[in-house]
Structure 1
Amino acid sequence: MAEIVADGGPPLWMLAEHRLLTTHRVAAAVTLVIVGGLLPLHIRLAWRVQRNRVSGIVSLAVMALLAGTSLLLYYGDEESREWVRWTV
């Protein structure tokens, strides 16, 4: 079975995977900056007045998952990278 390659370079699936992993890393970094800005004011205030707790917890969990998997993709060993690629 022949692989599709772009102009004699790497197979297209490798290029797509690289772009997706890069997008994941950038999204995690942006998310951490946004959450870092929201934590001191917005999230703490909403928690005190007991509003939107379920959606807030879900959002924070998704952001933590994104940040954690991004760190594993960047700093983890090959085994953890392979696991993260299939879970995210």
Structure 2
Amino acid sequence: VRDAMRDETELVWVETPTNPLMNVNDIGALADIAHEGDALCAVDNTFATPYLQRPLEHGADIVSQSLTKYLGGHSDTIGGALIVD
């Protein structure tokens, strides 16, 4: 990721764990790289849910969460949330 950063990079987007491969990324390390380049770090936290993972505590600036899937329970609602620090 550090090698991919450019002067115009404004956001580093992270999905962890990834779907469908379940790769886990180090949120803190990626947030540090983003911040070194004056970019924000955003984490799609849908798969882990806020119960299992709290990206803001690891340096993320923005967290996205689908409320339709796990938090909705039955996929009978449509919703989403952005949590910012």
TM-score by length of 2: 0.29
Flag the structure with higher strand content: 2
Flag the structure with higher helix content: 1
Q: Find the structure with the greater CA-based Rg.
A: 1
TM-score by length of 1: 0.29
